[in-house]
Structure 1
Amino acid sequence: MEAARSLAVESGVTSVTLTAVANRAGVHYSAVRRYFSSHKEVLLHLAAEGWTRWSATVCAALAEPGPGSPARVAESLVHGLVDDPLFCDLLANQHLHLEHEVDVERVAEVKQISNVAVMSIAESIERTLPEIGRKGSLDILVAGFSLAAMLWQIAHPPEGLEHDYRSEPGVPPDWSLDFEPALTRLLTATCIGIVEQKH
């Protein structure tokens, strides 16, 4: 797992193969195959760890003393993601690629872990913004990880395809797809909108 984690951090999720993991770990390919059926299974386990980390980070941040506000909820969610680039990369790949070609039982295990993390975060959001209830809290959470998955890939294109949209003619100077500010802006607006909807 450590070998896969270091490869993914260095070169991105798409660089992880069982052969590369075996080489990094200094073991034979067959040794890795004993534990994992494919590289996607390895990455699914890393995704499960990411969900648990994000949950712990957000819950700790929202448990700190301070007024509850949409901005605080958004910032807590965003900071937990910004501090975990591997998880952001995995978010975009989990449902699209990683859950395919892996035993259903293994996928179910990961979903159980992520569901526990999701409910813990939702409870923390609801305690911070009680007026939105559980449904509003879950809506904010879904918006958070969905936006993060998309924006991470836009902000981190493959090597050689980097492009600054702000240099295009006709693009306003405040146009920004940088990951942290864009995610903060969009998620704060989402949180404010859900709170306003309840008033």
Structure 2
Amino acid sequence: MIIREAKFMMSNSRVDQCPPPTLPEYAFIGRSNVGKSSLINMLTEHKGLAKTSSSPGKTQLINHFLINEDWYLVDLPGYGYAKVSKDARATWGKMINFYMRHRENLACVFVLIDSRHAPLAPDLEFMEMLGAESIPFVLVFTKADKQSSSRTQQNITAYIRKMQESWDELPRHFITSAEEKTGRDEVLNFIDEINQQLAQQADNA
């Protein structure tokens, strides 16, 4: 997929104020400081599209970006961040959960995981919630350039083994680096694949 155009549409905290659900939507979410904004900017090749910050917890709203006038990329607040108030975490949690459950054009959730870490409870719990709600998702392991490929693979294998304890079928996963643009084609081709499937389903309906 070639990204011809990527533009910011809106930020808000309410699903009913999101853009009309007429195009496929792909949501990106992960623990704070997982490298989400950098990954979004790398995928779209728009350096300042998603605002990056050295302080985690920067994203606090549902942010919609329109890609190629064809689909939405959605930047969601991170989860599992301890340095915001409990009230703020609870508010974000409700907003994210409501969005996941009620956004009818949500085609897939990209769960970002820092490839430098062994399996962490917040990630596993979030994926359990997605599974329980039958929300389609894939895993995106970020920051692969920060360590050796063997170490990255070791951590991914640990995640897969942990998930095999409770999952019958495992989601697809991608290995990425915003610095080196690793995984860009794979992620965008996957989105293109889903978009084509959805278009075929609409034609056959």
Q: What TM-score results when the alignment is normalised by the length of structure 1?
A: 0.34
Kindly indicate which of the two structures has a greater share of residues assigned to strand: 2
Rg larger in 1 or in 2? 1
Q: What TM-score results when the alignment is normalised by the length of structure 2?
A: 0.33
Kindly indicate which of the two structures has a greater share of residues assigned to helix: 1
